[in-house]
Amino acid sequence: MSLGICCHWLDQRTIPRTGRVETYNAMDERTLQLGRYRTGKYVSEQISGTYEHNVEALVKMLPRIAKSGVRLFRISSAMFPLADQVDPSLWCENEKLSSLLDRAGRIIKEFNMRVTTHPGQFCVLSSDSENVVKKAFTELEIHAWMFDVMGLDSSCKYAINVHGGKSDRSDQLCRRIDELPDNVRCRLTLENDETAYSVMNLLDVHKRTGVPIVFDTHHHIFNDDSLSMEEAMLATMETWPTGVNPLQHISNTEPHLMNGNFIDRRKHSDMIHYVPDCQLKFLRDKKIDVEVEAKKKNVAVFEMSKKFDIPLC
């Protein structure tokens, strides 16, 4: 699979009246606002129609992604906005939606693609709040339901990737992982972050739960816990089962912000300017799959492939 695109596909179009060229997301994803939902601004048909539209957009885009040479794609976590708030029948009992997801799954299997998801920052399994944990379970179950309806294996090949969450809560994190439904737990992966959970922290969680680690090279720069880049990479690769390429992430600090503050340096760059030597080697040898978390999405992936002589798949 090698290099992967995250969530969006950027195209350009010319505005007829002005002649100005603009970049836009061709995925054409629609969203819903929590405040409008809570004040009754959305009818049921509008909510279910949003979900159907977003999956239709995915169905249209998947063949284009595959034919471009890319076989790894992260599906947006906003595919079903407010799904944890609305009546579940609007998604899990929606026959048209299920049919569209089945079509998406058949395309994924036809082109031998790998798809993943990355629930947002509020999906915190290690939270001290029971309500937050309950919402995290619901969100993860929605992602697993989507993969189930697509007909994709309950395997970390189709990762549902989350961060460790609240710091110094490894025991809580392990306990919550053990409580997850099988279709979530079998797909769950954990990613190191810049402050709370280093690779070293997650290796302990892996030993207790068996959950594979998604290595993020950018995060590791800020939170290495005395492990070199290569040591951390090799250790995380060993957490993955035989037959599944370890999943990793790459992003960079913009060159002009290299001497900036923490907030500036942690921001994702538009394009990829450098690749750690060990990650580059494994990419060229097709031993890992790497999601490119650059703001320019597919544009950055294609340039990275050429610039660093990395096969797309």
Q: What is the pLDDT along the chain (313 residues), one digit of tens a residue?
A: 689 999 999 988 888 887 788 888 988 899 999 999 999 899 999 999 999 999 999 999 999 999 999 999 999 999 999 999 998 998 888 999 999 999 999 999 999 999 999 998 889 999 999 999 999 999 999 999 999 999 999 999 999 999 998 888 999 999 999 999 999 999 999 999 999 999 999 999 999 999 999 999 999 999 999 999 999 999 999 999 999 999 999 999 988 888 888 888 888 899 999 999 999 999 999 999 999 999 999 999 999 999 999 999 8
Burial classification of residue 285, based on how many CB atoms lie within 10 Å of its CB (0-12 exposed, 13-18 middle, 19 or more buried): exposed
Which residue stretches of 41-169 are H helix? 44-67, 89-92, 95-110, 130-150
Kindly state which CATH superfamily the domain 3-307 is placed in: Divalent-metal-dependent TIM barrel enzymes (3.20.20.150)
In the chain, domain spans: 3-307
Residues 36, 81 contacting (CB under 8 angstroms)? no
CA separation for the pair 309, 281 (Å, rounded) = 11
